[in-house]
Amino acid sequence: MSGAFLALWNDYPSAMTEEYEAWHTFEHVPERLTAPGMLAARRYASFREPKNRYFTLYDLADLHTIDHPAYLDLVRNPTTWSTKMRRHFSNVLRIPARALAHGGRGIGRCSLVQAYSIGREGAESAGLRIADQLDAMVANGTLLGFRVGLAEPNQPYEVFVQNTRTDDDTYNVVIIVDGLCHQTLEEARPSIDDAVKDIMNPLELLRDDLFELVVVYPTRLAVADRASIAAGLKFQEKFGF
């Protein structure tokens, strides 16, 4: 398991689902995986009207990955297609987190993804206790896997103004739980929520969504030049950018 991860939530107009899926799948994530320290990625979705909700998870070697010049070049110098797509993002939350704990036997078709703001005192201990509860649920066959991350709040992001801000004297905790399907996660959700409430005493719920897994990129791309990832003529003609 990687030493850190980057969790990203965003909404996007459902009228642009086809273009978003093409852009994110064939250009955006592959570009990110050319940056040193970007190890793997997954994209999840909750398709709804009038806006879809997405969650993207990047495995990082460590938190320094997002400060690497190659990654910052991707952020600061978007392609023509990326520039177009950025205009339609909303409800953005970006949390670079230190991996605190993980467990399980696999990646499920569905994931429950939660983010909380909690008090700084005892935060790491609380996160580890939550992990123990999730590990027990894996052991009894309720869940497939999980990971827990701890992060500084309100970390700057050059691309979007983030809609969710919390007290600087807190930590953000990200909990990602994998299950076989929506039903198993819905059944497990009350127990997870109770454990979070009892152990972490959260100050604020930042995100709480059930997502379907859409795409997995299991390993970093062995590509040195981001230009080789840029969308080809086929996409330019189809989506007009």
Helices then strands, counting H and E runs in the chain, come out as 7, 8
Output the tens digit of pLDDT for each of the chain's 241 residues: 689 999 999 999 999 999 999 999 999 999 999 999 999 999 999 998 899 999 999 999 999 999 999 999 999 999 999 999 999 999 999 999 999 999 998 899 999 999 999 999 999 999 999 999 999 999 999 999 999 999 999 999 999 988 888 888 999 999 999 999 999 999 999 999 999 999 999 999 999 999 999 999 998 776 667 888 888 788 989 999 9
Amino acid at 118: I
Say which DSSP state 195 is in: H
Helix (H, G, I), strand (E, B) or coil at 234: helix
The residue among 193, 180, 183 whose CA lies nearest residue 134 is 193
Strands 38-46 and 90-104: unpaired
Amino acid at 3: G
Q: What is the per-residue DSSP string for 70-88?
A: HHHHHHHS--HHHHHHHTT
Give dist(CA 175, CA 188) in Å, integer: 14
The helix (run of H) or strand (run of E) holding residue 217 is strand 204-217
- Residue 147's pLDDT is 97
- Residue 224's pLDDT is 63
Question: Hunting for tokens 């709040």 — which residue is that?
Answer: 153
Architecture of domain 4-239: 2-Layer Sandwich (3.30)
- Residue 103's pLDDT is 96
Question: Hunting for tokens 């189809």 — which residue is that?
Answer: 238
- Residue 164's pLDDT is 84
Amino acid at 171: Y
- Residue 228's pLDDT is 82
Residue 183: how many other CB atoms lie within 10 Å: 10
Contact 3, 15 (CB under 8 A): no
The residue among 23, 1, 12, 15 whose CA lies nearest residue 234 is 23
Kindly report the pTM of this predicted structure: 0.95
